[in-house]
Amino acid sequence: MNGGPSGFHNAPVTRIFIIACALLTIFVGIQRHSSSALGLSSQDLFKKLQLWRLIVSAFAFSSTPELMFGLYLLYYFRVFERQIGSNKYSVFILFSTIVSSLFEVLAFSVLKDRAPSILASGPYGLIFSSFVPFHFDIPVSSRFRVFGFHFSDKSFIYLAGLQLLLSSWKRSLIPGVCGVLAGSLYRLNVLGIRRIKFPEFVTSFFSRLSWPFSGGSSPSTSTGNIVGNVHPYPGRQVERNYPSSTPLTSIAEPPEDSIATLVSMGFERNSARQALMQARNDINAATHILLETQSH
């Protein structure tokens, strides 16, 4: 399970965010020589009023293992930028970061002495906000058993998230829970947040900014919302298992629940229906068809 086509196709905001997190973690780590100096504490907020810590703690990880798991999850969750478009995904990043940070401040106020003195540092808000759409909107493509226990291809992402969530126990548990709460509010469309998106020039800026890191390829010209950008697939062989010689009209009409699942992921209904027909009603293959079409 890799979140669609490899690389950062149609995910310039994710690319810049990952690079910024990595560079900031390295820079702050070299400057301060102590991971504990990175975390957010109640003393910094309510006594010293060091708001810069709130900003740094939202991007820079405290340790190398947290950096590795965090960047892996951020890279996987680039699939959401492809689904809703870079403009709306930028709003999702901003909303998740701000709201989860406010929840952290609230946790300090409510828990007081029971809260850890310093919280773990890093973009926990964005990462664990992303687990909300991951749980509800990403379908399971395969299931298997290990020693009698049932797993799916999504289990690996959950295990990576659990490792990050419990990496520093309470120090990382509180930011993770705050991120899940922020993601839940976004999914509930509080204040109509899911309809808001940044102007197109913001996406263009990130596309140009990420160009030097794209291995020499030109900036993407299609960074908008996937909805409405997916084209029909007649005669196009996308996967070997679905030969183009099979007429789409001979395939059974896709189930409504499968179409609804793809529509909930941000795809247009007609495009979702055609992709399901080409994939012979395999919802996972249809998802990859839609993502591959957007990347070309």
pLDDT at 5: 61
CA 53 to chain CA mean position, Å: 24
pLDDT grade, residue 64 (50/70/90)?
confident
276: left (phi over 0), alpha (psi -120 to 50) or beta: alpha
- Write down the mean pLDDT value for the chain: 78
- Count of CB atoms within 10 A of residue 64's CB? 12
* Predicted structure pTM score: 0.70
Q: What is the pLDDT of residue 228?
A: 36
pLDDT at 296 over 60: no
Per-residue pLDDT at 33:
52
Residue 218: predicted pLDDT? 43
Per the model's pLDDT, the better-predicted residue between 91 and 113 turns out to be 91
CA nearest to 75, candidates 5, 159, 18: 18
pLDDT digits (tens, 9 = 90+) for 13-54: 999 999 999 998 888 777 665 444 566 666 655 555 566 677
pLDDT at 74: 96
Question: Residues with Cβ < 8 Å from 6, sequence gap 6 or more?
Answer: none
Q: Which of 55, 64, 62, 65 is nearest to 104 (CA)?
A: 55
Task: Answer whether 63's CB lies under 8 Å from 71's CB.
Answer: no
Question: Which residue has 């299609």 as its token pair?
Answer: 222
Q: State yes or no: pLDDT of 246 exceeds 80.
A: no
CB 125 within 8 A of CB 97: yes
- Does 264 score more than 90 pLDDT? no
- pLDDT tens-digit profile of 188-208? 999 899 999 887 776 677 666
More confident residue, 42 or 152: 152
- Range 224-236 average pLDDT: 39
At 219, the pLDDT band (50, 70, 90 cuts) reads: very low
For 34-50, the three-class secondary structure string (H helix, E strand, C coil) is CHHHCCCEHHHHHCCCC
- Nearest Cα neighbor of 248 from 234, 267, 231 is 234
Cβ-count burial 260-287 (b if 16+ within 10 Å, e if not): ebbeebbbbeebbbbbbbbbebbbebbb
Q: How confident is the model at residue 170 (pLDDT cuts 50, 70, 90)?
A: confident
Residue 261: pLDDT band with limits 50, 70, 90: confident
Asked if the model's pLDDT at residue 245 lies above 60, the reply is no
The whole-number pLDDT of residue 256 equals 82
Q: How does pLDDT run across 131-141, given as a tens digit for each residue?
A: 999 999 888 87
pLDDT at 48: 58
Q: Treating both helix axes as pointing N-terminal to C-terminal, what angle do 170-187 and 124-137 enclose, rounded to 10 degrees? A: 50
Amino acid 138: pLDDT: 86
Residue 259: what pLDDT?
83
For the stretch 66-84, pLDDT in tens is: 999 999 999 999 999 988 8
Instruction: State the amino acid at position 11 in one-letter form.
Output: A
Which residues, listed in sequence order, are joined to residue 146 by a DSSP beta bridge? 149
Confidence of residue 254 (pLDDT cuts 50, 70, 90): confident
197 φ/ψ angles, rounded to the nearest 5 degrees: -150, 155
d(CA 27, CA 164) in angstroms, rounded, equals 21
Q: What pLDDT score was predicted for residue 216?
A: 45
Sketch out the chain's domains with CATH numbers: 12-211 (1.20.1540.10), 230-295 (1.10.8.10)
Quick one: pLDDT at residue 148? 85
